[in-house]
Structure 1
Amino acid sequence: MKKSFALVFTNIILFFLIGCSATPYAKQKINGVSFVSSRDTLLQTHIDPVLRIQASHAAVMPFAFVRDKNNPELIFNTERQWYGERYQGAKQYIESLHASKIKVMLKPHIWIWKGVFTGDMHMNTEEEWLVFEKSYEEYILLYAQLAQDTGVELFCVGTELYNFTNERQQFWDQLIDKVRNVYTGKITYAENWDKVDKVHFWQELDYIGADAYFPISEQKTPSVAEAREGWQVHKKLLKDLAEKYNRPVLFTEFGYRSADYSGKEPWASDRYDGAMNSESQKNLYEATFEEFWNEPWFAGGFVWKWFHDHKRSASEENNRFTPQGKPAEDVLLKWYSRM
């Protein structure tokens, strides 16, 4: 009798220790690429290079557009957009990737004319907010339904929209509920690196999504060790978030340009006329993988960015974000094949 009681008591203690653990656990790493929407249909020749680096996931990114950060008119799914940016193209991309056993995150984006940052979006009046919210909800629910219909594994309810999420919290709470009613898979949201700790609804989602352009080095060509050291303060913030909300952290975007000082302001996407520095990009990739990919609370990420025409991208001498045809692509293969 005493042994039975002791066994039951031990099991109860274990249940509470495990069930109340503050550190989430990601069962499987998401080894992803961010597929750039193009004018063309997605062919097997475009997918084969993704398979070669052993990526498990790809982000498919339909776009909506606004004229400026204060304009409530949201334009999406029109014939004026590139094929990959609208519904039919996203559907074809998803089906083609699934046919090759690549899982998908469907990740709608807003683009503001002249490259204005979406996190600064702010409507001038309550009436304008309501107009914008109506069209944004239609946009998101259109693609949530597509995600459900095509069996997408992960859906992202928005990308880098801090002012919108912060100022219109009630709208976002009900939007997430509506997405859950349409789509039965996992859900995340992609917040910019400097606001990821200020999102109010992480508890309602399955992953804490960070577009992980954290500044980690001011060196022209940082070593792996220097870049790893630069990650420490940001890594603590992310781990603390994971424990606070009991949700794994997912890098909804991460990457670096193959340029000098690319760890200083990794978010910078303006055209840079300096020399190509593939060593800097490679070291920053390696440091990121070494710091995060073995952490149990970390779910993986999606490299920014991957063009469908791999042969052309790999042959171009450029200092842009893509790792294609650069030493950073070998880093991807090394780590993605391990996980």
Structure 2
Amino acid sequence: MNKFLSLCFLGILLSACNAQTEPPAAPELIRGVSFVATRNAITDEIVKPLLNYNANYVAVHPYGFMRDLENPAVIHNSERQWWGERVDGTTATIETFQSKGLKVMLKPQIWIGRGIYTGTIDMPDDSRWDTLEVTYEKFILDYAQVAQNTNVAMFCIGTELESFVAARPEFWNRLIQKIRAIYKGKLTYAGNWDSYKNVPFWDQMDYIGVDAYFPVSDQKTPDVSSAMEGWKKWMVELSSLSRKHDKKILFAEYGYVSADYAGKEPWLTADETRESNEEAQKHLLQAQYDLVWKQDWFAGGFLWKHHSEYGRRGFEKRFTPQDKLAQQTVSDAYGAMKPKE
């Protein structure tokens, strides 16, 4: 009997040792889709197509607006904005997605009149810098409170603001402390593909966020293998920064237009000189999934973008994969990334 008990105890001990030496399971990849806010209240019908992507995350984008660089006040939560871009609509949108099992990254962004690129924000005097800082802080902290109230999984503190970040580092350090005092979840910032390396506060973030519009191909219709080849130099850069800060890379935005030469300058929308090309969009996305998304330094990303209303879907050459060949590409890739049950 004593011998039997000893053997049982030895078995239990060995099992415990084996359990302790097993590596922890890899975290689930963020299979995200960026969602365009609705003009009116969100419905369950609007959520269904996002579930069809096999997504587990959605990015919600309330906007603040600057008239131009001469008038830098950030205006937000205005009655003139669409319902889904205001605090009440953003809150309801988040809660609707969460009720369907989707996690949320809240990503408030600035839009400057006439589509001026946010990365060029630069003020000629302290007075206008002060106006920008006071109003941007109010904008971000209001949505940090929404993020905390709704318990979102992640909050993005800014998007493609490289000149602002470079010129006013102390403001950003103070802002991050104020955000942390309100919101207790994960933080990131969305640095543009050509400037993310220069962000000085990555050590204060939980993820290195990148808007991943890296040029990967000069071909009209790149095949998957050539697009994968085009990614290799960028992967060296990304993995190096990940190791430097011991943080994973998150594609806060990624995607391609469905037009000729979509991999050449992926940040551009397609004008009338470029023909529609769904194959290009499909191949470029597949190359990214086959290569970048399999790296251990990669956390996942948010596809740019899904439109909620049919009246806004008539974008034959735009970024959305809706009703295009790439829609199935995304769905298949995200489905394959789901953890095995």
**Cα distance between partner residues in 1 of 2:68 and 2:38:** 23
**Cα distance between partner residues in 2 of 1:327 and 1:181:** 44
Secondary structure of 2:294's counterpart equals: coil
Correspondence for 1:176: 176
Secondary structure of 1:105's counterpart equals: strand
**Cα distance between partner residues in 1 of 2:194 and 2:238:** 11
**Cα distance between partner residues in 1 of 2:115 and 2:195:** 19
Gaps of 5+ in 1: 1-14, 19-24
Gaps of 5+ in 2: 1-20
**Cα distance between partner residues in 1 of 2:72 and 2:51:** 40
**Residue 333 (structure 2) aligned to one of 325, 332, 335:** 335
Partner AA of 1:238 in structure 2:
L
Correspondence for 2:242: 242
CA contact (8 A) 2:259 2:270 kept: no
Correspondence for 1:21: none
Query: Once the 2 structures are TM-superposed, how far is the Cα of residue 26 of structure 1 from its aligned partner?
Result: 6.5
Correspondence for 2:52: 52
Partner AA of 2:138 in structure 1:
E
Correspondence for 2:278: 278
Query: Once the 2 structures are TM-superposed, how far is the Cα of residue 27 of structure 1 from its aligned partner?
Result: 1.5
Secondary structure of 2:80's counterpart equals: coil
Correspondence for 1:204: 204
**Residue 319 (structure 1) aligned to one of 317, 320, 327:** 317
Partner AA of 2:327 in structure 1:
E
Q: Deviations over 1:166-201 (max 9, x none)?
A: 110001011111111100000000011000101000
Mapped pair 1:123 → 2:118: no
Query: Once the 2 structures are TM-superposed, how far is the Cα of residue 129 of structure 1 from its aligned partner?
Result: 0.8
Cα gap change, 1:269/1:70 in structure 2, threshold over 3 Å: closer, same or farther?
farther
CA contact (8 A) 1:191 1:209 kept: yes
**Cα distance between partner residues in 1 of 2:152 and 2:329:** 27
Higher relative CO (Cα under 8 Å, sequence separation at least 6) belongs to 1
Secondary structure of 1:250's counterpart equals: strand
Query: Once the 2 structures are TM-superposed, how far is the Cα of residue 70 of structure 1 from its aligned partner?
Result: 3.9
Cα gap change, 1:139/1:311 in structure 2, threshold over 3 Å: closer, same or farther?
closer
Partner AA of 1:131 in structure 2:
T
**Cα distance between partner residues in 2 of 1:187 and 1:26:** 20
CA contact (8 A) 1:26 1:299 kept: no
**Cα distance between partner residues in 1 of 2:128 and 2:26:** 40
Cα gap change, 1:203/1:332 in structure 2, threshold over 3 Å: closer, same or farther?
same
Correspondence for 2:304: 304
Secondary structure of 1:32's counterpart equals: strand
Correspondence for 1:97: 97
CA contact (8 A) 2:62 2:108 kept: yes
**Cα distance between partner residues in 1 of 2:86 and 2:315:** 30
Partner AA of 1:338 in structure 2:
A
**Cα distance between partner residues in 2 of 1:26 and 1:185:** 20
Query: Once the 2 structures are TM-superposed, how far is the Cα of residue 112 of structure 1 from its aligned partner?
Result: 0.6
Count of residue pairs brought into register by the alignment: 317
**Cα distance between partner residues in 1 of 2:215 and 2:261:** 10
Q: Which moved more, 1:276-285 or 1:72-81?
A: 72-81
Secondary structure of 1:71's counterpart equals: coil
**Cα distance between partner residues in 1 of 2:294 and 2:140:** 33
**Cα RMSD over matched residues?**
2.0
Q: How does 1:19-34 map to 2 (within 5 A)?
A: 27-34=27-34
Identity of aligned residues (%): 46
Query: Once the 2 structures are TM-superposed, how far is the Cα of residue 69 of structure 1 from its aligned partner?
Result: 2.5
Correspondence for 1:226: 226
